[in-house]
């Protein structure tokens, strides 16, 4: 599923291409297989397909995700891109090394807010995971990330926000750095528990196999990374049977396997 | 614009109603003019209209907002309801008095998460301001809270999230209570400044008269309450010329005047 920026694969793609029209961008890609054109960072292509026509290459060139393997906000977006079966260029930004690669000028030129995820689709550059997921859902055909029924859609968005504004921001890396090493475990533990107490009640009513009914939605893309964080901070998950049950079902889904931190190119070797 | 739960106004409404068919709910409303049917709290009707037909009463009965005058998340929703020219029943929940009215069982029966805003539209109960605003925009005709163009829409959502997940949750009441009285000013100051540093850069590119171009959007509904918080925590707003300029323009708009904390029925007498 995951291939290192593939000089040989691109050549392989060219070999199989029928009516191959190469763009200057694609030429640049081929001539610098281990560098992203825009950032100077190493990049990888995430795809499910063989390289056998120009469309695939053009499409991949157009979609870029600046991500960090363990960033829960990046993870949400990776799930949605996988559900939509969209290939993209994965550009890792290490949030800790050298004081955080996100602070480097080369990345600030892409996103002056210096945050991942940053999603690039042609000329459109979007920050903030909820905004990116909304864009992906509206822009690309295929699997729908939100129900059509407005009441159900509101429930999905409510669950997203319980996590994305009610829990994660209060226990994210920059807040924990300010809280300090001595207190960060208690702090993160407290806010995740408090949020999960509410979320569990909501899911008691809304969930079927997944967060809202039996279809995977944007809410599920938010849930899984938050459970991963809960485990990192030793939250007792036995208190949350619905959250645990749904997370277990989702973990087996191909899109969630693909988006998992362990399967990202910048995940340190175990 | 604002009328206390109007026993006399309802009678006035009945007097002018032509084909008035009164529901059991409406009868209950008239017999208990100072109480909300569902919560036991005092409630007010927010409307721009005279009571002159059944539709208005039915509509008002259907829309309820559990709110607190100074809650910035409730404020965002009030702006959107005002932009959509929707009348609604305003049910104040005092977040501080008696340890917080949101924790009372009567309110937990409506929203087990014990949070404002809580929006009720018939059988649909929604928590989380971004989910509520999304629902309001999709459900009700009239002024559109989001641009149709997907790139602009993403920019609006990005700005909303910079505020609603990137700033406000880290300086909200419950977090400040945990930080403690001695440190809360420095804490709130730090996170609002850090968020506004990013937001100012985004607005440099995106803004016209308002946050994104020259039309008022959901992003503006999020901006104004956050500036109010910045002023409460003595953030030096002279560093943020775009944020300040936009907030000043918005403050003169009728929807923003109507939604301002000072104009809510539960605002303490000055």
Is A265 inside a domain boundary? no
* pLDDT tier, B41 (very low <50, low <70, confident <90, very high otherwise): low
* pLDDT tier, B24 (very low <50, low <70, confident <90, very high otherwise): very low
Interface test with A, best of B76, B121, B134, B184 (most A CBs within 10 A): B134
Is residue B107 packed enough to be buried (19+ CB in 10 Å), middle (13-18) or exposed (0-12)? buried
Domain boundary among B106, B128, B143: B143
Assess whether B17 and B115 both reside in one domain: yes
Look at chain B and report how many structural domains it folds into: 2
Assess whether A170 and A66 both reside in one domain: no
**Of A81-85, A253-257, B38-42, minimum mean pLDDT range:** B38-42
pLDDT exceeds 80 at position B48: no
Which residues are within 8 A (CB) of B239 and not within 5 positions of it... i.e. 6 or more apart? B196, B200
Assess whether A227 and A100 both reside in one domain: no
- CATH code at A210? 1.20.1050.10
- CATH code at B72? 3.40.30.10
Contact at CB, B157 and A124, closer than 8 angstroms: no
Give the closest of A134, A164, A202 to B165, CB-based.
A164
Tokens matching residue A231 = 């485990």
Assess whether A139 and A154 both reside in one domain: no
pLDDT of residue B106: 85
Assess whether B163 and B136 both reside in one domain: no
For chain B, the average pLDDT equals 83
Domain boundary among B82, B111, B143: B143
Say whether the ipTM exceeds 0.90. no
Q: Which residue of A has its CA nearest to B160?
A: A131
Query: Using an 8 Å Cβ cutoff, are A203 and A58 in contact?
Result: no
Q: Compute the nearest-CA separation of A166 from chain B (Å).
A: 6
Give the closest of B129, B138, B161 to A130, CB-based.
B161
Is A264 inside a domain boundary? no
Expressed as residue numbers, the domain containing A9 is: 2-143
Q: Tell me which chain B residues have a C-beta less than 8 angstroms from the C-beta of A128.
A: 157-158, 161-162, 165-166
> pLDDT tens digit string along B235-262?
999 999 999 999 999 999 999 999 999 9
* pLDDT tier, B4 (very low <50, low <70, confident <90, very high otherwise): very low
> pLDDT tens digit string along B123-155?
999 999 999 999 999 999 999 999 999 999 999
Sign for the CA dihedral angle at B207, B232, B160, B158 comes to positive
Residues 234-263 of A with CB under 8 A from B: none
pTM for this prediction = 0.83
Assess whether A136 and A155 both reside in one domain: no
In chain B, what percentage of residues exceed pLDDT 90?
67
The 3-class secondary structure across chain A, one letter per residue, is CEEECCHHHHHHHHHHCCCCCCCHHHHHHHHCCCCCCCCCCCCEEECCCCCCCHHHHHHHHHEEEEECCCCHHHHHHHHHHHHCCCCEEEEECCCCHHHCHHHCHHHHCCCCCCCCCEEEECCEEEECHHHHHHHHHHHCCCCCCCCCCHHHHHHHHHHHHHHHCCCHHHHCHHHHHHHCCCCHHHHHHHHHHHHHHHHHHHHHHHECCCCCECCCCHHHHHHHHHHHHHHHCCCCHHHCHHHHHHHHHHHCCHHHHHHCHHHCCCCCCC
Contact at CB, A161 and B166, closer than 8 angstroms: no
Assess whether B23 and B128 both reside in one domain: yes
Query: Using an 8 Å Cβ cutoff, are B79 and B255 in contact?
Result: yes
Domain boundary among A88, A123, A143: A143
Is B263 inside a domain boundary? no
Q: Which residue of A has its CA nearest to B194?
A: A113
């Amino acid at each position: 599923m995951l291939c290192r920026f593939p000089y040989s694969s691109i050549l392989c793609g060219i070999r199989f291409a029928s009516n191959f029209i190469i763009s200057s961008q694609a030429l640049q890609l081929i001539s610098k297989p281990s560098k992203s054109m825009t950032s100077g960072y190493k990049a990888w292509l995430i795809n499910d397909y063989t390289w056998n026509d120009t469309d695939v290459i053009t499409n991949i060139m157009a979609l870029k995700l600046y991500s960090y393997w363990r960033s829960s906000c990046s993870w949400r977006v990776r799930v949605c891109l996988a559900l939509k079966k969209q290939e993209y260029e994965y550009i890792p930004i290490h949030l800790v090394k050298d004081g955080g690669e996100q602070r480097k000028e080369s990345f600030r030129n892409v996103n002056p807010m210096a945050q991942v995820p940053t999603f690039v689709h042609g000329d459109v550059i979007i920050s903030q995971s909820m905004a990116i997921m909304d864009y992906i859902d509206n822009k690309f055909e295929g699997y729908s990330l939100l129900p059509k029924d407005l009441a159900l859609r509101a429930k999905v968005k409510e669950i997203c926000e319980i996590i994305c504004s009610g829990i994660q921001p209060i226990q994210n890396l920059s807040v924990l750095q300010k809280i300090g090493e001595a207190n960060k475990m208690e702090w993160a533990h407290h806010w995740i528990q408090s949020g999960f107490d509410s979320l569990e009640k909501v899911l008691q009513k809304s969930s079927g196999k997944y967060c809202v009914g039996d279809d995977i939605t944007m809410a599920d893309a938010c849930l899984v990374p938050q459970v991963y964080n809960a485990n990192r901070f030793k939250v007792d998950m036995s208190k949350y049977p619905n959250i645990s049950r749904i997370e277990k079902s989702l973990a087996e889904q191909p899109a969630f396997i693909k988006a998992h931190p362990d399967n990202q190119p910048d995940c340190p070797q175990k």
